Structure 1
Amino acid sequence: MHSHGHSHANDDEKHEHPVASRKQMLWAVLLTGSFMLIEVAGGLISGSLALLADAGHMLTDTAALLLAFYAIILSSKPADNKRTFGYGRLQVLAAYTNGILLIILTGWILWESIQRFYQPNPIQSITMLVVAILGLLVNLIVFKILHSASTSNINVRSALLHVIGDLLGSVGAIIAALIIWQWGILWVDPLLSVIVSMLILRSAFHIIKDSSHILLEGKPLEMDSDQIRQDLMALQGVEDIHHIHLWSISEQEPLMTFHAVVGDAYDKDLMIDKMLDLLQKKHGVTHATIQAESENCKGVLNPVGCEEQAFGKSPN
């Protein structure tokens, strides 16, 4: 006989978001978008590529934060007949898209920087310095708003990377403005733009890599399938664990399916309960589907006498 059991974490828990949540993200959007307009004006007046590059980055940031904000709203929608796992993966898709946007933006900044090395423009260093300092303050505020949620949410982390890029851009613009003001070295402006771009590019690569791993149904990076198998096998009555599959909807929603061979002397319903409890408490698996098999049916596909009985269980 085969038996199936599955468990879902409480739906309210699945749709919680560490950013408290939409309100804070909306504030980040408004602050970033408003200052982007100021920085465009400052870059045009001062003639600074570092400021214009940072303004272009902030424009992308505003779009990225809007995308992240929209993903948070949609991902809180409950599962339906069309999306049976819900909409949580929209946040991962938003993170992937933001990573691509960061790479495109970096390419534009690098191209403009190369042009400036050959054709340096006169720069009003005082205007550049004032705008860069204001930009640093705005970015610090936005960074503080988003930082608390960034460790557990790849969508917010990708948005935060845009903000960190802006922080670096503002610091670079301040340094460039001071050097130009004191010594008139114009090439430092595009040079610092290149350095900031390289830092942004590295971060974008990691965001694309992590989000791609989730989109390709990769195993949650912090989970060890061998260790999980050992823990399940340690339960008395569990003879074998095989056909293990681990993946996730988002970083906070790991899922798992596997087959468990249960000793004939043990109640399969009770063993499924024990396995689900272990997975939830020790490994944080919020959704597990288990197919329990008898010892004499191990490795046999629909043998005579091993008819399948399906049922669902939800301890929560």
Structure 2
Amino acid sequence: MPPDHTDTGHSHSHAGHAHSHGHDHAQAVTASNEARIRFVFVLTAGYALVQAVGGWLAGSLALVADAGHMVSDAAALLLALIAYRIARRAADAKRSYGFHRVRVLAALANGATLLLLVAWIAWEALKRLNQPVEVLAGPMLAVAVVGLLVNLAGAYALWSGNRQDGNLRGAFLHVLGDLLGSVGAIAAAVGIMLTGWTILDPLLSVVVAALIVRSAWVLVADSVRVLLQAMPHGVDGRQAAEGIAEIHGIAEARHFHAWTLAEESRVATVHVVPASGTDPMTLPPLVAAWLEQRFAIDHVTVQVDPPGRDSDCVAAAGPSADR
């Protein structure tokens, strides 16, 4: 686990160790992002009710099923809102990094539910190919057009927010799936009206599922990457240690570790050995500045080891974990 440092904004040294901290671990939970998700949640939940009633009155199984899709998305958006509430809590003595990883968990849950949704769509499509159901194209088209307008408003609200926020990105992907579903429903309704081919409904559902699955997988993979504290994207551990060793005044750099705290913050630790005649206290800010400029790492802990003595840390800098 990463070291627990609650001191920030200064450097200090003890027993041959020096640490440089330039940023607080706490991160701001953007009120704008939370408001955007709240707005989209109200839209999604409200339209899910309208769609369910419309599907029941029209006798359309497709619309009723899509209403279930919207309900699952509304639940995911509610989870995202809860995650923001928890993430707003201040860091404390036991949780010095705060609660921002809750947002990563919410993003993981959103991606996982999207993958489950894709599997459900595929299963339902296969059943409908074998046993076609009657679809009333007129009511289906009317409800789908309303859904398209609702999802366009929701997608725009989320797209114009902070795109580095994985929680917001997960919510956007859910709404994007709804939007694509509305487009597919409109196309299917028009096709059925013109040809009478009810098979168009399950076929277009499979197309929508294929469009969703890649983005959902990336969201899940990125969330797991953060939770496993893998190297951030673009950071090569061995190259970073070699680059630090080339900084003037440093004889050796070792035990480099880096991970992502949350979407906006990268953290790193490294051990350095000063060159002969170098003041150890001058090295931490140099290393921190180099890592921030080279890899956008905003919080760095530097331990200065005396020459000829290795630290108790047993892990060495390894090859990049980046894709």
TM over 0.5: yes
CA distance in 2, matches of 1:266, 1:6: 17
> SS state of the match for residue 294, structure 1?
coil
Q: Which residue number in structure 1 is paired with residue 19 of structure 2?
A: 5
Counterpart of 1:113 in structure 2 is 125
Task: Go from structure 1 to structure 2 and tell me whether the alpha carbon gap of 1:135 and 1:300 turns closer, same or farther (over 3 Å shift).
Answer: closer
- How far 1:216 sits from its partner (Å)? 0.9
Contact 2:20/2:285, CA 8 A, preserved across alignment: no
CA distance in 2, matches of 1:70, 1:301: 41
**Is 2:261–2:267's contact at 8 Å kept on the other side of the alignment?**
yes
Q: Is the 8 A contact 1:238 1:263 kept in 2?
A: yes
Cα root mean square deviation, aligned: 2.0
Q: Which moved more, 1:203-212 or 1:42-51?
A: 42-51
Aligned position for 1:261: 273
* TM-score, reference length from structure 2: 0.86
Secondary structure, aligned partner of 2:264: coil
Q: Deviations over 1:129-148 (max 9, x none)?
A: 11111111111111111113
Question: How far apart, in 1, do the equivalents of 2:240 and 2:50 lie?
Answer: 53
Out of 170, 184, 187, the position equivalent to 2:199 is 187
Query: SS state of the match for residue 290, structure 1?
Result: strand
User: For residues 40 and 312 of structure 2, what CA distance do their matches in structure 1 show?
Assistant: 55
Note the 1:54-203 alignment, pairs <5 A. Answer: 54-149=66-161, 151-203=163-215
Q: Is the 8 A contact 1:263 1:294 kept in 2?
A: no
CA–CA distance in structure 2, aligned partners of residues 65 and 79 of structure 1 = 24
Q: Which residue of 1 aligns with 2:299?
A: 287
State how far apart, in whole Å, the 2-side matches of 1:215 and 1:11 are: 16
Listed as ranges, the gaps of 5+ residues in structure 2 are 1-14, 314-323
In structure 1, the gaps of 5 or more residues are 303-316
By how many angstroms is 1:251 displaced?
1.7
How big is each residue's C-alpha offset from its partner over 1:121-173, in whole Å with a ceiling of 9 and x where there is no partner? 22111111111111111111111111133531111111111111101100000
Q: Distance in 2 between matches of 1:202 and 1:283?
A: 27
Name the CA shift for 1:199/1:235 in 2 (closer, same or farther; >3 Å).
same
**Residue 227 and residue 48 in structure 1: after superposition, are their counterparts in 2 closer, same or farther (change >3 A)?**
farther
Question: 1:272·1:290 contact (CA, 8 Å) conserved in 2?
Answer: yes
Aligned partner of residue 21 in structure 2, secondary structure: strand
Q: Offset of 1:227 from its aligned partner?
A: 4.4
Cα displacement (A) at 1:253 = 1.4
Which amino acid in the other structure matches residue 123 of structure 2?
W
Equivalent residues of 1:218, 1:246 under 8 A apart? yes
* Structure 1 counterpart SS, 2:121: helix
- Where relative contact order (Cα < 8 A, 6+ residues apart) is larger, the structure is 1
* 1:225 shift after superposition: 3.1
Which deviates more, 122-131 or 272-281?
272-281
Secondary structure of the corresponding residue to residue 305 of structure 2: strand
Q: How much has 1:277 moved relative to structure 2? A: 2.7
Percent identical among aligned pairs is: 36
Change in CA separation of 1:150 and 1:49 when aligned onto 2, cut-off 3 Å: farther
Cα distance in 2 for partners of 1:70, 1:146 equals 17
* CA contact 1:219–1:248 (8 Å) conserved in 2: yes
Match of 1:244 in 2: 256
Q: Deviations over 1:69-127 (max 9, x none)?
A: 12122112221123221111111100111122112222222222222222222211111
TM-aligned CA deviation for residue 230 of structure 1: 4.3
Contact 1:129 1:174 in 2 (8 A): yes
Q: Is the 8 A contact 2:25 2:96 kept in 1?
A: no
Instruction: Report the counterpart of residue 311 of structure 1 in structure 2.
Output: none
Aligned-partner SS, 1:44: helix
Give 1:109's aligned amino acid: I
CA drift at 1:300: 5.8
Map of 1:220 onto structure 2: 232
